[in-house]
Structure 1
């Protein structure tokens, strides 16, 4: 979708980043921390930006320590409505299959897309396995791209190549640094 092969890779705060021109960081994926810490950072920034008058749409992952993912220990939460969506499904204690719940993520994605037209920024929990397989929240990434909305997300190192291949010249991998991300939002505020 947004792929470009003519970008350079540089270091930003110790994290690799794909950069090309002025739009190089419209879609940024945070790396460099534990999943729970990065999701807490995304949630905190969304709350701060809303308090400062920005219209923020998206979903973040709420993680409950000590509770199995498939038992509700990890859900997606809509940053506007507070609605919660299943992120994992219980496949039984003997299952070794991936327990991601594509239906719950698809529901979350459609709600985000419906809210996106008038927003200032989109916060999406992650570009991960489902998005690498061209499902999950991918339609929200695409819609945000068509609308030229800035997007804050995360990506594990395992999915960095797929993320960078998808966002091309419009995306970057950035550090899990609140000051950096606030400055990023200031550059993209219209």
Structure 2
């Protein structure tokens, strides 16, 4: 089982790095399954507006509820997330690696992409996960000592991914 994670105080940095790594992997013919959260550095983040790009094709899925003006709080749409999870799990058999943009509250509760992570591990497929600092302890409990941290930098993450994919194919 090969799990690596990225955890940065700046979650947009984690999102941007994972998206860049996924794009580079696609350009080099590495077959990925999973999710990334695209970041446009010129657009300020909207609180809890969550759009995922499903790998490998980048299909966009909005997984958040629209909130009325003046309302606050997280607006994750668990049903939309589960629909995205179904797509990810269907694509996993042909993948060389799984990328999960965020180990979030759903995953900490045993939902979301947890089963895809477990399936990838069972198949010997390397797994790369973005982790929110607020949920780092929950993630480390989930990983049970089997995950290693990578810096939030494209080059070392991509090097690990390329090496991990080559090793899993051997």
2:69 paired with 1:93: yes
Distance 2:152 2:53 in 1: 20
1:61: which partner in 2?
37
2:157: which partner in 1?
181
Q: Which has the larger radius of gyration?
A: 1
2:56: which partner in 1?
80
1:14-29 paired onto structure 2 within 5 Å? 23=1, 26-29=2-5
Distance 2:159 2:57 in 1: 26
Distance 2:142 2:45 in 1: 33
- Determine helix, strand or coil for the equivalent of 2:18: helix
Distance 1:52 1:142, change over 3 A: same
Give the length in aligned residue pairs.
164
- Determine helix, strand or coil for the equivalent of 2:75: coil
Question: What does the per-residue CA deviation read over 1:20-69, in whole Å, with 9 as the maximum and x for residues that have no partner?
Answer: xxx5xx11111125222221211111111122121111111124524635
Given candidates 4, 7, 11, the residue that maps to 1:35 is 11
Distance 1:94 1:133, change over 3 A: farther
Distance 1:51 1:63, change over 3 A: closer
Which blocks of at least 5 consecutive residues in structure 1 are unaligned? Answer: 1-22
TM-score, normalized by length of structure 1?
0.77
CA RMSD of aligned residues (A): 2.0
Which blocks of at least 5 consecutive residues in structure 2 are unaligned? Answer: none
